[in-house]
Each structure stands twice: as structure tokens, then as C-alpha cells.
Amino acid sequence: MNRARVFSLVALAALVVAGGESAFVRQLMPVAERSAITDTSGRALGLHGFSTAGSAKSSVDGLPRFTEADLARENADMGTNFVRFLISWRAVEPQPGIYDQAYLAEVETRVDWFAKQGYHVMLDMHQDLWGTEIVPGMGIGNGAPGWATYTDGLPIGQHDMWELYYLDAGVIRAFDNFWNTTGTHPELMDHYVNAWKAVATQFASNPTVIAYDLMNEPFGGTLQGPAFEAGPLTNLYQQSLDAIRTVDPDSWACLEPQAMGVNWGLPSGLGVVTDSRPGEARVAFCPHLYPLAMDLGGGYSGGSRDMVDATIASWIGNTKRTAARLGNVPIILGEFGLDTTLPGALDYVDTVYAQMDGIHAGVAYWSRDNGLWGPYDTDGVTARNLVAAIDRPYLRAVAGTLQTLSSAPDRLEFSFTPDAAAAAPTELYLPAVGFPHGAAVDGATIAHWDTSRRILTLDAPGNPAATQNIVVVAA
Ligand code: 9MR
């Protein structure tokens, strides 16, 4: 694609996005308070971490190249408390109806590493371009098992940009067969649902696994937009959650919208998924953010920056509206990320975190792979520029309902309505760079300052009935 054409495409997308936004803003109604993902102590969680990792996509054993030492390094350097851990259908169900218990046990070994460091884990059933067998041996797609891959002999080309494979007839057909748009493979969705049940059976009693991301970046094949999202995608999510609930009453189900368009800030047409568990529904909305201008290499400067800002604004508005429509569900930004050598890259990372604070969304940066998009060089050890951008103050857990939140490198400000039933205190992470000598707190008393983990714990408020306004600055 030539450059002028690429940029006119981006400009068009930005116009569509901006136009869509103003039309939707006019329909905005005040909404009830959004619910939050809570831990076993009843605290609302702030989740900061990585998608770990793309290296799992093509590995023979389905596991990421990621060690316990890598986790210790990440925790020491950036104080993360969350991981979106990649799993795959091909590894869970290598043959129809046969679940690989050894693989699930290996995943659980890694979950236990995270548990020891106080993390929360979301398991992400990853796919791109359907599966590794769309073009055998070429390492193009990932996710689905070979036995579930039906391209029906339709062509798949060769492209520099990986996303363009989504436009190839063979890839589209593989998805059409999965969603049973073709009417010839009604069994495939049942297998996927049962694969989730096998995963949930393994992790139901593991408190570190708090959520299941039901499908990475869904693609509808010949069905796109609301026809896909409100149709077979919502149906798959409902069936998957129903199957999960037969074995696991507590974990959250994270719903991704279709990636194409929604990743660029357009609205989602996903339908409501009901949760049969007793008590509150545990469903979350987990879209990704990949502004088109950024994907096309424009970085975060000049005209590209304006288009990226317009995309973010639109994305925030649409994400809030979808989360409200799905039942005031919590939001996790399941992926955002970029080649951090692009102009303005770290400003972009800052902007996204600030915006996510504003909507109290968890974040899983893409990705915890070594190299240009990740926190470390290809040696896996040498810190890159991203480390400083991710190592920021954040609220790890709050003993009540969060009302407002904002952060700067040396300041964290928030307000919340206490919940007397919360069985553990409010906890903050404060990096060394902004808080070299610890913190001074206005509006609460410090219960404990863990200088090595850089975690500040606050006393429960004296008057639990009142909204607490808290400002934390460098000591
Ligand atoms: O960054 C990944 C790139 O190296 C791979 O070629 C591509 C296809 O597997 O996937 C990229 O990661 C994507 C992720 O799987 C889904 N969301 C968008 C990510 C960035 O493009």
C-alpha cells in the first residue's frame, strides 16, 4: 500500500471515528456505577501488568519463553501485579475431546510463580488468524488445533503486515466454519466451549486465576460488526460461561469485542451475556486499543498523534458505553502496545495509562516479549525505555468503591467509598523514581511501607461512612 493511500485511509478512519463519537455522545444517558473486579478479601483491584507472552503462540509446548527469574525481574523493575497469560486451544485440546492435562499442569506451575509474588492471573485463549495450520509450517497464525482448521482449499496469500491475512479467503473460511456460518461444522463451537470447561476445571479452586479471557481478538469471517458480535460471538461467550459455571462459580469472564474496528475506536455490538452464578454477575469487558495510525507506523507525533488522540477519545467513550450496556461491567484494557522506538512512543504509553486511570480500567500491555515492543532487549535482561514508562504509581487494591483516580510519576490521588466488609487494607505501589524516600499521605494514615516491594498499606478510615479523599506524594 503506498503511503498517501495509507494516510488517506487513516484520515477516513479518524473521520468515521469522530463522527461516530458525536452521534453516540448525543445518546448518552447517566449510568449506574460500574462494578469492579474484586479479590477474595472483597477489595476492588487495580490491575497492572503484561500479556505474557507472544512467544507461547508458536512454541511446541504452547508455553511462553518466560521463567520464574523473568517474573522476579519484572516485579522488581515495574511492580506489576497482573498478567494476561496466553494459553491456546491447540494445546488444551490437541485431539478432539482429548484434553492435555500435562499442559494444564505446566500452566498451573507458572500460575503458582505468579501466586508467590502476589499477582492475579487472567488466562487468555489466544488466537491470531485462526491457527498454526492455516498455512502449515509457516508460523503465520496461532490458536486453534489443526483438526479444527477447515480452509476448504481456499487461497491464503503472503503479506508483510500480519493483519492482512485476515482478508484471505482461506482464513475467512476457517472462521466461517468455526462460527458455523457455512452450516457444515456445528461441532467446532461445542469443542471450544468444552475446552474452556477443561481449563476452568483445572483452575476453579486456584484463587490466583481470577479471570478467563474467552477469546483473543475475535474475527467473524464473512460476518462482521453487530451481525457477528451480537450473533455467534455472544452465543459462544454465553455457552462458554455457562460451561465454566458448571465447575467454577467465581472466576470472571472477560469478553472481547471483535478486534477489527473496535481496536481503532469504533463501537462494539456485542450482546449481553448473563451469569448464572449466585450473587453478582462476574463478567468484564476487555477490549484492545490499537489506533490505526499507530499500526501503520506513524508513531505518536505530528498528524499521527492527533489521529491517535481522536482514536483514544472515541475508544474511551465507546468502551464506557459498551461496559454500561453489558450491565455496568468492569473494564480491562487487555492489550495495547507498540514498538517503543517510534517517535513519541513513551508519551503514548503515559497517555494510555492516564486515560485508563480515568475509567479505572486494568491494563495488560502487549507484550512481555523481548525486543522492540517489550520491556527488555533480546537478551531478556537489559531494560529498555519501556520499563520506566510502565513503572508508575498505581492503586493495587482498594477497600471499597473507587470514585476517582489520577496519577503522576510522584503523586497518586484517589477517592473511594469504604466497604466495611472488605477484609484487607487499601494498597498502593509507589516506584523508587518518584518516591525515593517513601510517601506522605493526606487523608489517611500509613499502616505499613514495604521498602523493598514498594507497597504502601493504608489504615482503614476512622469514619467508614464518609467518602475518603486521599493524596499521596513523595516524602
Ligand atoms: O506482535 C505480534 C506479531 O509479532 C505477530 O506476528 C502477530 C501475529 O501472531 O501478532 C502480534 O501480536 C498481536 C496479538 O497477538 C493480538 N493483538 C495485536 C498484537 C499486535 O499486533
Beta strands in 76-180 (DSSP E): 82-87, 120-125
Q: In the prediction, which pLDDT does 32 show? A: 65
* pLDDT at residue 459 greater than cutoff 60: yes
What is the longest distance spanned by two Cα atoms in the chain?
Answer: 69
**Contact call for residues 179 and 223 (beta carbons, < 8 A):** yes
Alpha carbons 426 and 456: distance in angstroms, whole number: 8
- pLDDT-based confidence at 90, cuts 50/70/90? very high
Report ipTM (2 d.p.): 0.99
Q: Ligand 1: which residue has its CA nearest to atom 4?
A: 54
Shortest-distance atom of ligand 1 to CA 259: 17
- pLDDT-based confidence at 462, cuts 50/70/90? confident
Question: Could you give the count of Cα atoms lying within 13 Å of 34 in the half-sphere of its Cβ?
Answer: 25
Q: Report the mean per-residue pLDDT for the chain.
A: 93
DSSP 106: H
DSSP assignment of 223-289: --THHHIIIIIHHHHHHHHHHHHTT-SSSEEEE---STTGGGTPPP-PPP----SSSS--EEE--B-
Q: Which of 162, 288, 365 best tests ligand 1's pocket when mutated (most atoms within 8 Å of CB)?
A: 162
Q: What is the pLDDT of residues 357-389, one digit of tens each?
A: 999 999 999 999 999 999 999 999 999 999 999
Cβ count within 10 A of residue 146: 13
**Contact call for residues 62 and 103 (beta carbons, < 8 A):** yes
Q: Who lines ligand 1 at CB under 6 A?
A: 54, 57, 128, 142, 162, 217, 288, 335, 366
What mean pLDDT comes out for the span 172-197?
98
φ, ψ dihedrals at 257, nearest 5°: -80, 175
Whole-number Cα distances in Å, 121 to 73, 84, 112: 17, 6, 10
Q: Ligand 1: which residue has its CA nearest to atom 9?
A: 128
Shortest-distance atom of ligand 1 to CA 337: 20
**pTM, full prediction:** 0.95
Which one, of 203, 275, 200, lies nearest residue 242 by Cα? 275
Q: What is the pLDDT of residues 107-165, one digit of tens each?
A: 999 999 999 999 999 999 999 999 999 999 999 999 999 999 999 999 999 999 999 99
φ, ψ dihedrals at 292, nearest 5°: -60, -40
Give every strand in the sheet of 411-418, ordered side by side: 400-408, 411-418, 468-474, 439-442
Phi-psi region at 381: left, alpha or beta (left = phi > 0; alpha = psi -120 to 50)? alpha
